[in-house]
Structure 1
Amino acid sequence: MTTPIPHPFDFDPTYGMDLAQLEAIAPPVAPDGFEAFWQDRYRRALAVDPAPKLDRNPLRHPRWQVFNIGYRSTDDFPIGGWLLLPKAGEIRRGLVVGHGYGGRDAPSFDIPVEETAVLFLCFRGMSRSARPPISTEAVWHVLHDIDKPERYIIGGCVEDLWVAVSVLELLYPRITGRIGYSGVSFGGGIGGLAIPWDDRIDRGHLSLPTFGHQELRLTLPSIGSAASVQSYQAQHGNALPTLRLHDSAVAARRITVPMLMSLALFDPAVAPPCQFAVANALPPAKYNEKFILDAGHFGYPEQASQEGDLRDRVGQFFKVP
């Protein structure tokens, strides 16, 4: 970023840090019981029979067949979404795609992959997976059962991702071992928590990932769901045990597959130091890539150009060999 981005916030969304300082952010230490907590949840998710159901969606596209999809996740939670199947070529890979905290109203037809079955899930409580009493509003969704580590909504969303992988394997057994994950913001944080434990996921793209370095996240002025968590903790003071167990920077230390991380230098909603804490936690490897954006969750002059370049990079990253 060559020039400061004008903004209306009463805080600095760069937090006074340049790229070198962000790349020096150290991820936090795992709390006691972290691995057992997630391994137990993963085993539970693997035991679920998702019973996927498909029906044709009226949307038409020259490249994709479009289906509505539904399946059962853990806690017998009904999950909805969309499945895109290529009209040309065989299905040689799978890709699960998450969403940000705005939810998702439709599949994205410009997903830059070929010969791939693409499952766009809606995480529990949001969009096509909405169910009372869970709020569809980000500032309330992120607080759902935050005082109960075993019941926190974020853990359930991680399980929804794992069961989505099971769905693709059930529908297309030949792509087993060739399923990726891509998620932005909220979905990026969920991916950071999910990928370390699931060896069925062979690569991941996390963009502007949330839930990194939770204790630091509580201290950095922000908007959106982060501000909601900060306000809750200031009022009740009981969120840290849950947040420490749901820290994507702690989890990312255990990722061993190729990763593409797209990270922002300026972001009022997901503080860049917390994004970089996730990326910096990845074990050093030649197959971990970073793509630096001038800003996230905010418009900026080079946005269209950078997002176009990132889309090309994502297409190469998930390209069928």
Structure 2
Amino acid sequence: MPLPEPYDAWFPDAPIDGTYGYDLDTLLAVEPAPAPAGFAELWQGWFTASRAVRPEPRLTSLGRQGAHDLYELEHTGAGGLRLRGWLALPSDGAARVGVVHGHGYGGRDAPDFARVPDDAAVVFPVARGLGALNVGAGAPDNAAEHVVHGIDSVETYALGRCAVDLWHAADALVEIAGDLPLYYTGASFGAIGVLAVPWDRRFVGATFVVPSFGQYDVRLDLECTGSGEAVRRYVAEHPEARDVLRYFDTSTAAGYLRVPVRCECALWDAAVPPPGQFAVANAVTAAAAARAGGSACPTLELEALPAGHADYPGDQDVDARAALATRAHIARCLAG
């Protein structure tokens, strides 16, 4: 079957139709996965337990980069694991917000300040096992192995441990920069922030870009070129793992968000199928409708990207505008 326009011209050799037969209307109708028993209690319990861990940050100065003074950071993560990442502080003046900046499954080899305001303190955590800094620490460095590491148990699954590590990275930032309001941004694998943000009231907003791990009821039926393919194949051989995954579905967690959220979801994405991405955004919409007029009501700013995890004509302009939109979203979240 021929690919739909303009993807037939953009990706003529694509092995998969990255639309999966969805258009914007049908993507907006994808329902989030319902919460399994004890979902909120599990995550709230993990957050409460994380409060007892001291981050014990250590900094190594790397000089100035743009508007920030940059440091390599080492801090304590879940289970006492020492993890490394980067931390940056405004070179001129005090920070007015702290940004926790997640990354994709390619790991992170250097900080990227495109979405970071000049007056923000920012931590760039690197997930256990990944990137140049944490290879060999707590999980495999291969994405296909990492995404199923520990999947036999809710308590050991890598995605959960990485999400908990985000709280510890935030703790390190706060210990160094002071008690700041926090904002999360992350792309693809960085959607583990959706699992972490709802339970941590320090966060005042978030941006999730082409979020992964959403709506496994749909995702597990769709072949893809990303890490989800390893999960799909694993669950086909080990169906009991499906019960574990229910506690790490980002479309479920998004229903517990209480802050303004910006979602950038792709209409085409062969690596992270679009229905899973839009399920995360749709969960925020549903949560907002359910709490309309009440306190802690989330809001959604949704941008439908032409494609995700792919180069296409005009993508650099799209990325630049999206980065500015996140900066503007941070400003609105701080303004209340």
Say whether residues 1:15 and 2:20 are aligned partners: yes
Following superposition of structure 1 onto structure 2, how do residues 166-181 of structure 1 map, counting pairs within 5 Å?
Answer: 166-175=171-180, 178-181=181-184
Say whether residues 1:76 and 2:74 are aligned partners: no
Following superposition of structure 1 onto structure 2, how do residues 228-307 of structure 1 map, counting pairs within 5 Å?
Answer: 228-282=230-284, 283-284=287-288, 287-307=299-319
The equivalent residue for 1:164 is 169
1:100-159 alpha-carbon deviations (Å, 9 max, x no partner):
000000111434412110100001111222225621111110010111111101110011
> Structure 2: which amino acid aligns with 1:25?
V
Q: Is the 2:115–2:324 contact (alpha carbons within 8 Å) kept by the matching residues of 1? A: no
Following superposition of structure 1 onto structure 2, how do residues 186-205 of structure 1 map, counting pairs within 5 Å?
Answer: 186-188=189-191, 190-205=192-207
* Aligned equivalents of 1:94, 1:86: Cα separation in 2: 11
Secondary structure of the residue aligned to 1:17 is coil
Q: TM-score, normalised by structure 2?
A: 0.90
Secondary structure of the residue aligned to 2:65 is coil
Q: Is the 2:128–2:137 contact (alpha carbons within 8 Å) kept by the matching residues of 1? A: no
1:33-79 alpha-carbon deviations (Å, 9 max, x no partner):
1111111111111211111111102x542422110111001200111
Following superposition of structure 1 onto structure 2, how do residues 148-163 of structure 1 map, counting pairs within 5 Å?
Answer: 148-163=153-168
Q: Is the 2:104–2:188 contact (alpha carbons within 8 Å) kept by the matching residues of 1? A: yes
The equivalent residue for 1:119 is 123
Percent identity over the alignment is 36
Following superposition of structure 1 onto structure 2, how do residues 2-151 of structure 1 map, counting pairs within 5 Å?
Answer: 3-4=6-7, 5-57=10-62, 60-127=64-131, 128-131=133-136, 134-151=139-156
* Aligned equivalents of 2:231, 2:208: Cα separation in 1: 22
Listed as ranges, the gaps of 5+ residues in structure 1 are: none
* Aligned equivalents of 2:30, 2:116: Cα separation in 1: 31
> Structure 2: which amino acid aligns with 1:227?
E
Identify the range of structure 1 (155-164 vs 127-136) with the bigger mean alpha-carbon deviation. Answer: 127-136
* Aligned equivalents of 1:252, 1:62: Cα separation in 2: 33
* Aligned equivalents of 2:308, 2:264: Cα separation in 1: 10
Deviation at 1:290, TM superposition (A): 0.7
Identify the range of structure 1 (2-11 vs 305-314) with the bigger mean alpha-carbon deviation. Answer: 2-11
* Aligned equivalents of 1:109, 1:246: Cα separation in 2: 28
Q: Is the 1:210–1:270 contact (alpha carbons within 8 Å) kept by the matching residues of 2? A: yes
> Structure 2: which amino acid aligns with 1:75?
G
Secondary structure of the residue aligned to 1:318 is helix
Deviation at 1:11, TM superposition (A): 2.6
- Within the candidate set 182, 186, 190, 2:185 is matched to 182
* Aligned equivalents of 1:148, 1:15: Cα separation in 2: 31
Identify the range of structure 1 (125-134 vs 306-315) with the bigger mean alpha-carbon deviation. Answer: 125-134
* Aligned equivalents of 2:34, 2:65: Cα separation in 1: 47
* Aligned equivalents of 2:199, 2:75: Cα separation in 1: 21
* Compared CA separation, residues 133 and 195, structure 1 to 2 (3 A): closer
Identify the range of structure 1 (95-104 vs 232-241) with the bigger mean alpha-carbon deviation. Answer: 232-241
Backbone CA RMSD of aligned residues: 1.7
1:256-281 alpha-carbon deviations (Å, 9 max, x no partner):
10111011000011100000000100
Identify the range of structure 1 (106-115 vs 151-160) with the bigger mean alpha-carbon deviation. Answer: 106-115
Listed as ranges, the gaps of 5+ residues in structure 2 are: 289-296
Q: Is the 1:45–1:162 contact (alpha carbons within 8 Å) kept by the matching residues of 2? A: yes
Q: TM-score, normalised by structure 1?
A: 0.94
1:174-204 alpha-carbon deviations (Å, 9 max, x no partner):
41xx11110000002x011111111111110
